[in-house]
Structure 1
Amino acid sequence: MTSVPTPIPSRTQYVLDAIRHRILTGRLTPGQALVETELAAQFGVSKTPVREALKTLAGTGLVVMSQYKGVTVRMVDADMAREVYDVRLLLEPEALRRAVGRGALFDAAREALTRADDATDTAERSLANREFHRALYLPCGNPLLGRMLDEVRDQAALVSAVAWAADPSWEREAAEHREILRLALDGDADGAARVLHAHIASFVARAFPEPGPEEGQR
Structure 2
Amino acid sequence: MPPTFSLPASRTEVVLEEIRRGILNQEFEPGQPLVEAELAQRLGVSKTPVREALKVLSNSGLVTFSPYKGASVSVVDAELARSVYDVRTVLEPEAVRRAVERRDPALFEDAAEALKEASAAIADKDHAALSLLNRRFHRALYQGCGNPLMVSILDDLRDRAALISVIGWEANPSWRKEWTEHKAVLAAARKGDADGAAELLRKHVGGFLDRVLKTLDG
Fold shared, TM-score > 0.5 on shorter chain: yes
2:29, 2:184 → 1: CA distance? 32
CA displacement, residues 60-95 of structure 1 (integer Å, 9 cap, x when unaligned) = 111000012211000001111110111111111011
Alignment TM-score, normalising by the size of structure 2? 0.89
Partner of 1:112: 114
Q: Which amino acid aligns with 1:198?
A: K
How much has 1:143 moved relative to structure 2? 1.7
C-alpha change, 1:201 and 1:35, in structure 2 (3 Å) is: same
C-alpha change, 1:12 and 1:112, in structure 2 (3 Å) is: same
* Moved beyond 6 Å, runs of 4+: none
Matches within 5 A, 1:1-218: 10-105=10-105, 106-119=108-121, 120-123=124-127, 124-209=129-214
2:187, 2:216 → 1: CA distance? 35
RMSD: 1.8
Q: Which amino acid aligns with 2:68?
A: Y
How much has 1:209 moved relative to structure 2? 3.5
Say which is worse superposed, 136-145 or 93-102, in terms of deviation. 136-145
Which secondary structure does the structure 2 equivalent of 1:140 belong to? coil
Identity %: 54
Question: 1:116 touches 1:126 (CA, 8 Å); kept in 2?
Answer: no
Which secondary structure does the structure 2 equivalent of 1:57 belong to? helix
How many pairs are equivalent? 205
Which segments of 5 or more consecutive residues in structure 1 lack a partner in the other structure?
Answer: 1-8
Q: Which amino acid aligns with 1:110?
A: A
2:181, 2:190 → 1: CA distance? 14
CA displacement, residues 155-184 of structure 1 (integer Å, 9 cap, x when unaligned) = 000000011011100111111111101111
Which secondary structure does the structure 2 equivalent of 1:71 belong to? strand
Which segments of 5 or more consecutive residues in structure 2 lack a partner in the other structure?
Answer: 1-8
Alignment TM-score, normalising by the size of structure 1? 0.89
Question: 1:25 touches 1:126 (CA, 8 Å); kept in 2?
Answer: no
Q: Which amino acid aligns with 2:10?
A: S
Question: 1:95 touches 1:140 (CA, 8 Å); kept in 2?
Answer: yes
Q: Which amino acid aligns with 1:107?
A: E
How much has 1:139 moved relative to structure 2? 1.2
